[in-house]
Structures are given as structure tokens and as C-alpha cells.
């Protein structure tokens, strides 16, 4: 017997047939002797419609009213899922954030969870009732509904799993797990049985969007074991069918590299011939930060005759804004020239095994060189090596690295 939180995303509850399918899955877990709590998103499309209503009425709408409106999508599916469960003989009831209560801070539209009262839910689960919790929402200090930001239902589920001391949090989605890389690029990509929290965070932040980043951070902090699995495939007993996101220590045989991620949403900016003096980095990045332009990789070349070049990457959608900001601050920064390139991609190799393996970066550079791919920028962290290359080489690079690190199935 285990205690499990099962979370279903918008495509998994998109219509009544899929809600019935969700109920059948929950019933199987209950009949296997488990205590189950369910977290649901809104039917796919509903949240977008509600957001659009708010934006059409007022581009700068009150975030508290936005929350009151947008949170209703999950309230509908939690009630419908409870009805579907009751219909097949599973005792169930819906819970809205304010009823649990699931308390958040007052940052409407992007609230953070402060705490969840789990005692009553645990009592009911022990008595055989399945709580069906409306995801994505809670109640703020002002006694008003708050939402956790887009994709927040993943975070609801992980937080609930922590509060209920669940053995596992199963996130049902439209993919069947986490892969060594994008199977659309590398058909021989393998599904990972386990992946460490840190690896999942690095993979998510470079574009392998299976779980909301905040939910992984929370799972890591609270040590919640998360399984990513498909709500559209039949799973038959035995091993866990999806990918388990767990603490590094649970992964006995650590591969040097667990996965290859890529992002094509990058742009490169080079500010040439800037005075090499203390405070120059702050002069460049301060105005960008103030305008909420997120800077990722940064490289500063070795100084020559007291002048230097600064290269960095930003999201491509921020490029026009960043150019305008830097142009406005040219005198202050004192650069001679600004160069930009929107046609770049970031390729990353990720693995907690890097900590105990040498030569990971070198394998990468050699593999790319053998394909004639030029590396424009390099950045490394404890469990990741990223490079910036021309966007047209993306697929070639990902395939070469997948083979070079022995990840092919």
C-alpha cells in the first residue's frame, strides 16, 4: 500500500470521455490498495479563453479579479472528476484551494504556496475517500482566490504530495516520460527510468518542457518522488511505466550524461570595444535586468589595450527590446559597436555523473569538431556543459552528441 498523488493536465481532462478515463485510472490505483489524492487542471483551452476575456476587457486588469475568473476552470474539472469517480463506485469529493485550505502569499497571478492543511484530507483518504483538488490555485492572506501562474497545477500536486507525505506524485501528461533527448530529432532516444531533480531542472530550463520548473524545485526541496507518465497509454502492473524524478542518491548507476537538451529560442549580442574597468558589467546588464530581459550565457574576452568585448545570450523575443535599451545607454557604457545574431541555438549536455567523471566537456567539443560545427560561446556548471552554435546545426549537433555519450538505444 502506498499513498499517491495523481495529477492530470488539461489534455487529460479535455472532455467527458477523458475525464471518465481519468476516473478509471484512479479506480485502478484505489483497487490496488493505495490511498489516492487527485489534482486536476482545467479542460484544455478553457484557461486560455478565460485569460482572453480578462485581457480583452482590460489589458492592465486587476490580478485579483483575473485569479477569481481564471481559477474557475479547475473548479469545474475537480467537481466533474469527483462525479465521474462516484459514478464508478469510488468515494470522492472535490476541494477548492480555499476549502483545504491551500494557503499562498498575496502575489495574485503568480502566488507561491505557503502551506497546506493536510490533516483532514489524510483522514478522509484513510477512510477510503479520494480528494479531487482543483489545481493551480489557493487562497491568499486577503481571503481571495490566488493562482500559481501558468502550469501551476504541477506545483499544486507536488506541494500536496509533500503535505500528505505521499510516497509518490504521478504527473500524467501527453508524453510517456523523460527522454535522453527529443525523439523527433533522435529516433533512437531512450526513455529514462530515473532522473535526478537537478538534471530535470537543467533539462526543463533548456527546453525539455515536461514539468513546470517550480514544481521540480519544490519536489527537490521537499524530497517528493515525482513520476512523469502518459495518460493516454495503458500501463500494466509491475514496474513504474514512466520516468521517476528523484534524489541523486536514489540513482545507483550514474551515467556521465543523462540527456542532451537544445533551445532554438536564443539570440546572441556582442558589445564591442568597451572600456575594461570595474563596473562595466553592471553598466551593461543593470538596464537589461531592470527591463526584465533575462541574460543567460555571458562571455568576456581577455582585455587588450584596456578595451574588451562582451558577448551574451538572451531570449530571442527580447532581442529588439535589448537592442533599444543598449542603444539608449551607449554613451554611459561607452562601447564602439553592437552586433546581434538571432540565428543561434544552445545545446547542453546534462548529467549528475559529471561530478565524478572527467573529460565530459572535451568529449563534447571533439564530437562537434568532428562534424565541423563551430562553437561560439561555452558555459559550464557542475552538471551541465552548454555551447552556442549556428541554429542550422541544431539537429546535427544533438545527434552527434547523443551518439558520442553512448545514449543511443
Q: What residues line the site for its own copies (CB under 8 A)? A: 16, 19-20, 50, 53-54, 56-58, 61-62, 64-66, 68-69, 72, 75-76, 78-80, 82-84, 86-87, 93-94, 96, 98-99, 143-145
Q: Scanning the structure block, which residue is given the C-alpha cell 475537480? A: 78
Shortest Cβ 151–its own copies spacing (Å): 21
Shortest Cβ 286–its own copies spacing (Å): 34
Which is nearer to its own copies, 110 or 316 (by Cβ)?
A: 110
* Contact partners, residue 266, CB within 8 Å, separation at least 6: 296, 313, 314, 315, 316, 344, 345, 346, 388
Which is nearer to its own copies, 71 or 398 (by Cβ)?
A: 71
The H or E element that residue 380 is part of is strand 377-381
Q: Which of 313, 273, 403, 304 is nearest to 349 (CA)?
A: 403
Shortest Cβ 75–its own copies spacing (Å): 5
Are 151 and 218 contacting, i.e. CB atoms less than 8 angstroms apart?
no
Which is nearer to its own copies, 20 or 190 (by Cβ)?
A: 20
Q: Which of 354, 339, 343 is nearest to 385 (CA)?
A: 354
Shortest Cβ 11–its own copies spacing (Å): 17
Shortest Cβ 56–its own copies spacing (Å): 6
Determine the longest span between alpha carbons in the chain, in angstroms.
79
The H or E element that residue 28 is part of is helix 16-31
Which is nearer to its own copies, 60 or 290 (by Cβ)?
A: 60
The x, y and z cell numbers of residue 69, run together, are 475568473
Dihedral sign of CA atoms 149, 151, 155, 157 in order: positive
Phi, psi (rounded to 5 degrees) for 162: -65, -45
Which is nearer to its own copies, 153 or 311 (by Cβ)?
A: 153
Which is nearer to its own copies, 83 or 375 (by Cβ)?
A: 83
Shortest Cβ 88–its own copies spacing (Å): 9
Which is nearer to its own copies, 79 or 334 (by Cβ)?
A: 79
Which is nearer to its own copies, 11 or 72 (by Cβ)?
A: 72
User: Is residue 304 classed exposed, middle or buried when 0-12, 13-18 and 19+ CB atoms within 10 A define those classes?
Assistant: exposed
Whole-angstrom CA distances from 355 to 15, 256, 382 are: 46, 8, 7
Are 131 and 121 contacting, i.e. CB atoms less than 8 angstroms apart?
yes
Shortest Cβ 19–its own copies spacing (Å): 7
Shortest Cβ 128–its own copies spacing (Å): 16
Give every strand in the sheet of 259-275, ordered side by side. 295-300, 307-315, 259-275, 337-350, 384-390, 377-381
User: Is residue 364 classed exposed, middle or buried when 0-12, 13-18 and 19+ CB atoms within 10 A define those classes?
Assistant: buried
Shortest Cβ 93–its own copies spacing (Å): 7
Which is nearer to its own copies, 50 or 295 (by Cβ)?
A: 50
Shortest Cβ 214–its own copies spacing (Å): 24
- What is the secondary structure of 303-365 as a DSSP string? PBTTEEEEEEEEEGGGHHHHHHHHHHTHHHHT-SEEEEEEEEEEEEEE-GGGGG-S-HHHHHH
Which is nearer to its own copies, 53 or 291 (by Cβ)?
A: 53
Amino acid at each position: 500500500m502506498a499513498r499517491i498523488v495523481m495529477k492530470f493536465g488539461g489534455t487529460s481532462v479535455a472532455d467527458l470521455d477523458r475525464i471518465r478515463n481519468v476516473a478509471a485510472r484512479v479506480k485502478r490505483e484505489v483497487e490496488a490498495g493505495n490511498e489516492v489524492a487527485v489534482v486536476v487542471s482545467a479542460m484544455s483551452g478553457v484557461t486560455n479563453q478565460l485569460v482572453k476575456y480578462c485581457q480583452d476587457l482590460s489589458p492592465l486588469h486587476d490580478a485579483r479579479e483575473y485569479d477569481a475568473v481564471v481559477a474557475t476552470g479547475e473548479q469545474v474539472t475537480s467537481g466533474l472528476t469527483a462525479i465521474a469517480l462516484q459514478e464508478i463506485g469510488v468515494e470522492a469529493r472535490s476541494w477548492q484551494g480555499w476549502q483545504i485550505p491551500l494557503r499562498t502569499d498575496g502575489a495574485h497571478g503568480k502566488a507561491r504556496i505557503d502551506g497546506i492543511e493536510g490533516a483532514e484530507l489524510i483522514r478522509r483518504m484513510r477512510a477510503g475517500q479520494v480528494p479531487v483538488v482543483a489545481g493551480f490555485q489557493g487562497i491568499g492572506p486577503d481571503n481571495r482566490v490566488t493562482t500559481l501562474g501558468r502550469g501551476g497545477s504541477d506545483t499544486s500536486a507536488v506541494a500536496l504530495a509533500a503535505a500528505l507525505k505521499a510516497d509518490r506524485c504521478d504527473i500524467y501528461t501527453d508524453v510517456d516520460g523523460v527522454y535522453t533527448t527529443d525523439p523527433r530529432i533522435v529516433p533512437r532516444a531512450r526513455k529514462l527510468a530515473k532522473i535526478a531533480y537537478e538534471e530535470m531542472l537543467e533539462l526543463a530550463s533548456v527546453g525539455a518542457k515536461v514539468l513546470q520548473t517550480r514544481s521540480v524545485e519544490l519536489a527537490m526541496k521537499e524530497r517528493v518522488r515525482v513520476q512523469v507518465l502518459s495518460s493516454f497509454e495503458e500501463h500494466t502492473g509491475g514496474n513504474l511505466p514512466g520516468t521517476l524524478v528523484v534524489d541523486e542518491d536514489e540513482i545507483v548507476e550514474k551515467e556521465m550524461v543523462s540527456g542532451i537538451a537544445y533551445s532554438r529560442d536564443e539570440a546572441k549580442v556582442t558589445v564591442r570595444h568597451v572600456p575594461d574597468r570595474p563596473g562595466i558589467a553592471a553598466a551593461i546588464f543593470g538596464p537589461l535586468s531592470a527591463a526584465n530581459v533575462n541574460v543567460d550565457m555571458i562571455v568576456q574576452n581577455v582585455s587588450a589595450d584596456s578595451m574588451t568585448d562582451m558577448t551574451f545570450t538572451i531570449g530571442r523575443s527580447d532581442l529588439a527590446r535589448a537592442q533599444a535599451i543598449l542603444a539608449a545607454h551607449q554613451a554611459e557604457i561607452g562601447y564602439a559597436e553592437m552586433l546581434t545574431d538571432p540565428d543561434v541555438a544552445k545545446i547542453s549536455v546534462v548529467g549528475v555523473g559529471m561530478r565524478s567523471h572527467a573529460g565530459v566537456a572535451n568529449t563534447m567539443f571533439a564530437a562537434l569538431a568532428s562534424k565541423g560545427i563551430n562553437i561560439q560561446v561555452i558555459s559550464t556548471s557542475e552538471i551541465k556543459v552548454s555551447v552556442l552554435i549556428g541554429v542550422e546545426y541544431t539537429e546535427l549537433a544533438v545527434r552527434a552528441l547523443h551518439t558520442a555519450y553512448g545514449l543511443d538505444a
